[in-house]
Amino acid sequence: MAFSKWRPFPDPRNCDTLTAPFGPGVYELCDARDNRLILVGIGKNCAKRMTSLLPSKRGGCGTRNNSAKRNYIARHLKHIEYRTRATKTRADARQIEKRMLAEFDYLYGT
């Protein structure tokens, strides 16, 4: 399976919709202004994991130990784009993530 097209990251305050796999998958974020890669990540439920990318005060949910990452995304939300890729297993997603981390320079690690 290939990555989806790039989409604007949804703002939950505007009831925007997140389009992502409900099962295992990989997600990637970039800043559309300069195509700067922000991060790559995985989730056993990719859509659910992506909802934790914003601080709770900006509509995010779930847990993240990296408040700097969440705050960066919130501050630049109108310029953040994402794409996703469904995988058969979380292990498959992890392999893709490892390859991408080795190949590309992200502002934030996983």
The CATH number of the domain holding residue 66 is 3.40.1440.10
Per-residue confidence band for 13, with pLDDT thresholds at 50, 70 and 90: confident
Query: What's the pLDDT score for residue 1?
Result: 73
Convert the pLDDT of each residue in 55-91 to its tens digit.
666 555 655 567 788 889 989 999 999 999 999 999 9
- Give a yes or no: residue 8 inside a domain: no
Q: CA-based angle 70:72:74, to the nearest 5?
A: 70
pLDDT confidence of residue 7:
97
pLDDT, greater one: 67 or 19: 19
CB atoms within 10 A of CB 33: 11
Give a yes or no: residue 7 inside a domain: no
Confidence (pLDDT) at 101: 96
Provide the edge-to-edge strand list for the sheet that holds 7-8: 7-8, 80-86, 25-31, 36-43
Rounded Cα distance between 15 and 6, Å, is 19
pTM value? 0.89
Task: Look up the domain containing 33 and give its range.
Answer: 16-103
Q: Is residue 70 part of a domain?
A: yes
Total domains, the chain: 1
Q: pLDDT digits over 21-55, tens only?
A: 999 999 999 999 999 999 999 999 999 899 888 76
